[in-house]
Amino acid sequence: QKEVEQNSGPLSVPEGAIASLNCTYSDRGSQSFFWYRQYSGKSPELIMSIYSNGDKEDGRFTAQLNKASQYVSLLIRDSQPSDSATYLCALRDNYGQNFVFGPGTRLSVLP
Amino acid sequence: DTEVTQTPKHLVMGMTNKKSLKCEQHMGHRAMYWYKQKAKKPPELMFVYSYEKLSINESVPSRFSPECPNSSLLNLHLHALQPEDSALYLCASSRLVENEQFFGPGTRLTVL
């Protein structure tokens, strides 16, 4: 079983809609979770970090963490065409050294 | 200064060449990283340098060798690379190894 799984997409949503990106992980000891956005040909850009169960909001972005279900999600409200990118879920493993990325979900926001 | 810088932006090299990639951060971060990213794949961790200690992903071949001259610099020395090593090489840093990582713009490497 892969450590971090994401739906590869593409996920297409109309402009102004809510985009929901999901990520599951296998290591129950994982403590830290991160969402990165990566535009084609560019480097990953940190959007959110989340460490505790529940929701964390930052502007149009909300990260949700459920450690019991081993599930972390990212909601993007009022999606804009400029949000079209690959979204990478990442976590730090139980040993604290390895920073593991999921395969990424490609999001397309249609004008 | 809140960014990670990488040089060069692009590099083309032959299989017999020796070259180096450079990475610098001025955020006072204590951990730095090298990643390799192939097209349509997530970044793969190659090396971690934290608390003056280097950790190596065992799958990384010896033709890649990191060097940390000081706490702000992390170089990646390249020697006798193969065409399959062509990729985007990303440097990142974090305040501590437990914290979120911030990425530089990357070096696009092509091995002929």
Separation in Å, CA of A5 to nearest CA in chain B: 11
Token match 């065992």: residue?
B58
Chain B interface includes A42 (CB < 8 A):
yes
Q: Where are the beta strands (DSSP E) in A4-104?
A: 4-6, 11-14, 19-25, 32-38, 45-50, 54-58, 61-66, 71-76, 85-92, 99-101
Intra-chain end-to-end CA distance of chain B, in Å: 36
Q: Please report, in tens digits, the pLDDT of each residue of chain A (111 residues total).
A: 568 999 888 999 999 999 999 999 998 888 899 999 999 999 999 999 999 999 999 999 999 999 999 999 999 999 999 999 999 999 987 666 678 899 999 999 999
Chain A interface includes B3 (CB < 8 A):
no
Q: Chain A contacts of B89, Cβ < 8 Å?
A: none
d(CA B75, CA B6): 9
The residues in B 19-38 lying below 8 A from A, measured between CB atoms, are 33
Nearest neighbour of B103 by CB, restricted to A43, A49, A103? A43
- The pLDDT value given to residue B51: 82
